[in-house]
Structure 1
Amino acid sequence: MVERNTGKPLCGLEVKLTALPDNSTKKFEEDRYSCEIVVRPPTICFLACSICNHYNTPSGRNRLKSLLDSVPQINHWEEIGDVAPHYSKIEAAILRVSSDMYRHQTPLIIQPIWKTVGGKMRLADDCLDVFVWSNLATIQMCCGEDRVSVSGISRFQRAIIWIYRMLFDYAIYGQFDYVRIIKNHSYNNANDKAFALNGARSYRYLACNELTHPRIGKDEIRNIILGGGQNLLSPERRFDAVIVNSPDLFD
């Protein structure tokens, strides 16, 4: 899809509503609270497409190929034993692409947060805010902390491998087969999600005053949900349940 007047490609943004604190941080001091974020395989496809769009000319594809070319030839990408020994070079290649285009990163994920009192089903007084992850920031979620093993590939490492395969295929052929790459490169992990980053791990990226004290107070919810909309919510959903069970918000 492109903008009608300029022909510029439009960007779809994925919205992930997350609770603050999550289970991994709810027992910490308030200034150490953070959120879990779950990334699904389609997000990895959107991420790769956003990078391909930056290299969408013949010279751009050649540049992308040169940035990825440091990885030795791997004949059996579906085999852990063939891929794991080269993982460090695969990750380094993806980080090299990130460095090359960091001034042109684009938003990918919108993460609204809703804060409760110590993880209980009760909204904090300052309870709503939003964070935005760029395509390159999402790559950073996966990098640097998992130890490389010749006998296993973590979900984080697998996501980096997926990105590498998508970008390399695009650089060579001008396209990539997202479904095939996800299906054939599971590395003994289920494909229901690409990876999940719990609050203890996401804190270093999100830490700021707005995480400890979100900018929108719960008294503003009555100005956000209008016309009795709270009565149409589904209380089996966690955030909806908090709203439904807090009728005083609308008094």
Structure 2
Amino acid sequence: MTAGLFGLDNSSRDFEEPKSWGKNVFTNSLPIALAQYMDSLDLYPVLINAIGTAAGGLATQQELTPWDQILNVGDDSPRFIFESSFEPHNEYTTGTPEKSDVVIAAADRTHRRALEIKLTTVPDSATANRPHDEQSCEIVSRPLMIEQLAVSICASYGRHRRSTLNELLLEAIDAPSQMSWSDERTMLARMPQIRKAVKMVIERGLAFQTPMVLHPIWRTVGQSPVLEDDCFDVFVWTDLAWTKLLLDASVQDRAKVTRPQRSLIWLVKMLWDYSIQGQVDRADTFESITFNKQTDKAASFSGSMTLRYLKGQYLSSPRIPASALSEIILGAGSSYLAPERRLDSSIFIQLIRDSANPADEVAAV
């Protein structure tokens, strides 16, 4: 039988090819198929927005939002282009923008949305022993995500608000052009100003924040490979909601700059570069601002922290059952799963439980 994923007939990947089910490939495709499947059932993703509070602070809220609004395609049939640069971001970066996990194009082939994908499992080790509705997932963020975040914020503000970004940063930070961005002692002292700048950027941009991170979750029984019956759901973070997560993680008062603080510094430096020269200079930022830390990881957020943003019925009781996997992974697709990978193993076990034995598919192929 033909291998495939639900709703991905119009994509840049050929799911009859084994390579489309490989490491770090399948985990970017399955979330889109899951969202497409939910859309066919009129189940909307949970959009996480940044909002202002009556007390003058910042918070986030969850809002069910139609999938076509997330994709920005209206009535068009979307095309999903994996691992591609988002053309509208060209004008905001020096050189070609880094590739997004998936770019969504309309029927006329114009690029409408770029999404980063974070597929996570619930519970993580920090919350596995908590009550069921207090469990959440760990999220790991790479430096590329910070670049995508900076460019998304610049694009959300748009060219006509570039001067607004400049004014906000100048109001919050004392002489940013003369600041030693790469000096750790200087930046530790400047962290209150950096945090103030980010808060002001969020506050001024609330009306035009943009969906940026597609964040599906899958629940297991504790930390076993067995999927819970109520297993899958889809969250989407806006660029400013993700910035709020990063801002909240950067409050640690330590003798050295933490990874979340460095990520916030990276973000502000790129926004500053854009505000004065019209482009984000990612290479200069990442190469010069290291503080003697490895640059393979920007930040990690444990389930204890992500629970603040994800908590609710869709986290504790996801809307898509594990039994729906046979309707999302089509035909002989299960024969390409690699059970040594955690998600693949859990799916493999579930399909056996549902009597859709992947071994039979392997024999058929």
Question: What interval of TM-score do these two structures reach, taking the shorter chain for normalisation?
Answer: over 0.9
Alignment pair present for 1:61 and 2:144? no
Is 1:147 matched with 2:230? no
Partner residue in 1 for 2:324: 220
Name the residue aligned to 1:34.
Answer: 136
Partner of 2:277: 173
After the TM superposition, which of the residue ranges 4-13 and 209-218 deviates more from structure 2? 4-13
Structure 1 residues not aligned, in runs of 5+: none
What are the superposed Cα offsets for residues 136-176 of structure 1, whole Å, 9 maximum, x if unpaired?
11111122453234x31111111111110001110001112
User: CA separation in 2, counterparts of 1:167 and 1:185?
Assistant: 15
Matches within 5 A, 1:2-21: 10-21=112-123
Percent of pairs with identical residues? 35
Structure 1 equivalent of residue 210 of structure 2: 106
Task: Name the stretch that deviates more: 137-146 or 87-96.
Answer: 137-146
More displaced, 226-235 or 164-173?
Answer: 226-235
2:146 match: 44
> What are the residue-to-residue correspondences of 1:55-204 with 2, within 5 Å?
55-57=157-159, 59-69=160-170, 70-73=172-175, 74-145=178-249, 146-149=251-254, 151-204=255-308
Give the Cα–Cα distance (whole angstroms) in 2 for the partners of residues 131 and 219 of structure 1. Answer: 20
Q: Equivalents in 2 of 1:184, 1:112: separation in Å?
A: 34
- What is the SS of the residue equivalent to 2:252? coil
Aligned pairs, number: 249
Spell out, residue by residue over 1:39-80, the C-alpha distance to the aligned partner (whole angstroms, 9 max, x if none): 1111111111111113333x5221111100021135321111
Secondary structure (helix, strand or coil) at the match of 1:28 reads coil
Q: Residues 5 and 218 from structure 1, CA distance in 2 versus in 1: closer, same or farther, beyond 3 angstroms?
A: closer
Residue 228 of structure 1 aligns to a residue in which SS? helix
Q: Equivalent residue of 2:140, what SS?
A: strand
Equivalents in 2 of 1:250, 1:226: separation in Å? Answer: 14
Gaps of 5+ in 2: 1-86, 89-104, 357-365
Whether contact under 8 Å (2:120, 2:216) holds in the other structure is yes
Pairing partner for 2:348 from 238, 244, 249: 244
The alignment partner of 2:257 has SS state of coil
Give the C-alpha shift of residue 9 in structure 1. Answer: 5.8
- Distance, in Å, in 2 between the alignment partners of 1:87 and 1:168 is 15
Question: 176-185 or 92-101, which moves further after superposition?
Answer: 176-185
RMSD of aligned Cα (Å): 1.9
Shift of residue 217, structure 1, vs aligned partner: 0.7
Letter in 1 for 2:167: S
Provide closer, same or farther for how the CA distance between residues 95 and 9 of structure 1 changes in structure 2, counting only shifts above 3 A. farther
Q: What is the rounded CA distance, in whole Å, between the counterparts of 2:240 and 2:122 in structure 1? A: 24
Q: Which amino acid aligns with 2:126?
A: S
* Matches of 2:355 and 2:332, distance apart in 1: 9
CA contact (8 A) 1:125 1:217 kept: yes
* AA at the equivalent of 1:139: T
Superimposed CA distance per residue, residues 207-244 of structure 1 (whole angstroms, 9 cap, x where no aligned partner): 01010100011111111111021111112221001122
Asked whether the equivalents of residues 231 and 244 of structure 1 are also in contact (C-alpha less than 8 Å), the reply is: no
- Tell me how far apart the structure 2 counterparts of residues 62 and 7 of structure 1 sit (CA, whole Å): 31
2:140·2:300 contact (CA, 8 Å) conserved in 1? yes
Q: For residue 10 of structure 1, give the secondary structure of its aligned residue in structure 2.
A: strand
Give the aligned residue type for 2:311.
A
8 Å Cα contact 2:182-2:289 kept in structure 1: yes
Contact 2:124 2:136 in 1 (8 A): yes
Amino acid aligned to 1:17: L
> Which secondary structure state, in structure 2, belongs to the residue aligned with residue 143 of structure 1?
helix
- C-alpha distance after superposition, 1:185-219 (max 9, x if no partner): 12232111111111011001000101010001111
**Counterparts of 2:173 and 2:186, CA distance in 1:** 12
Structure 1 residue 127, shift from structure 2 partner: 0.6
* C-alpha distance in structure 2 between counterparts of 1:182 and 1:230, whole Å: 40
Q: Is this contact kept in 2: 1:218–1:249, CA < 8 A?
A: no
Deviates more, 1:8-17 or 1:160-169: 8-17
